[in-house]
Structure 1
Amino acid sequence: MATSRDKRGQAAGLRPDKRLGMNIKRTEQALITAKQLAVRPAGLTVPQYAALFALADNPGISGAGLARSCLVTPQAMTVVLKNLEERGFIERSPHPWHRNVLETRLTDAGREALAAADARAVLIERALSEEFTQEERAMLREFLLRCERAIDRAATDL
């Protein structure tokens, strides 16, 4: 007789090492650890690097927009931006029309820190990319997108 526990893998004995979520988490942790080592000599954390990286392509973006771009909460981004501003890596100024919105831009020091961090972080990305053929990279992106959609569907059923 099947139970609802079977769907979750509990009764079926789905061990942690057999769960895709564990593989994804281990891979994510390995990537974050490698990126931390890569950006540390530039005096940055991974969240700070991500913010500078996003700012380079979106000068003037708001903190809320930057949080969405970096996949963090606005509260977390506020802390990151405060630290970057204190270190002189960014400057913030009121939007010309929306005075409650602060525009954020890289300073020369921020561009230098980003360039130094990215020169090392790109080595991680390159090593990851070189592990797969172009076709495999496309497939991996599709598989990860499918994972994201499956997780979203499962979460709505909770």
Structure 2
Amino acid sequence: MSEGSVRFDSDALQQRILALRGERVMVDSDLAELYGVEARVLNQAVKRNAERFPVDFSFVLTKEEKQEVITKCDHLQRLKFSPHLPRVFTEHGAIMVASVLNSPRAVEMSVFVVRAFVRLRQVLVEHPDLAERLDELEARVARHDNTLSTLVATIRQMATAPTAPSRQIGFVVDPLEKKE
């Protein structure tokens, strides 16, 4: 495989590998771009060969997951206005897509994709504390979100709290008092 024929460098490819549902995955549009086909063509090939793509090879994102992916990945902003939920592929699914597409470019890129997944796995093995630190950071952010939500709710409640009626200014004449 010549480096000139590879559209992504290894680091750029690793940045397109996402962590969802405890799996490392690539979005269909990224994989299609890598394999040199349209995402529509890739998804049609997957639908024609659905038996080759069990849930542990490929799955469709939920609306919430789609929103999360769009928020985290700037290069996926084009998905924001798409009515379709994107499909993602695990390492095994990415290899299976290459066999379904069966083009020389797809075969060449599948080797490249496998190497990127393996390299990412090696980084996580070499730095086991990294995953733990990411989990801690995620938990801390969740706690901060809860605290901020409570704070905002309290501020809104204070802003809309009824005010005490104003006291009347001036002399108050008691109607029961006798006039002389």
Q: TM-score range by the shorter chain?
A: 0.3 to 0.5
Higher helix share: 1
Q: Highest CA radius of gyration, 1 or 2?
A: 2
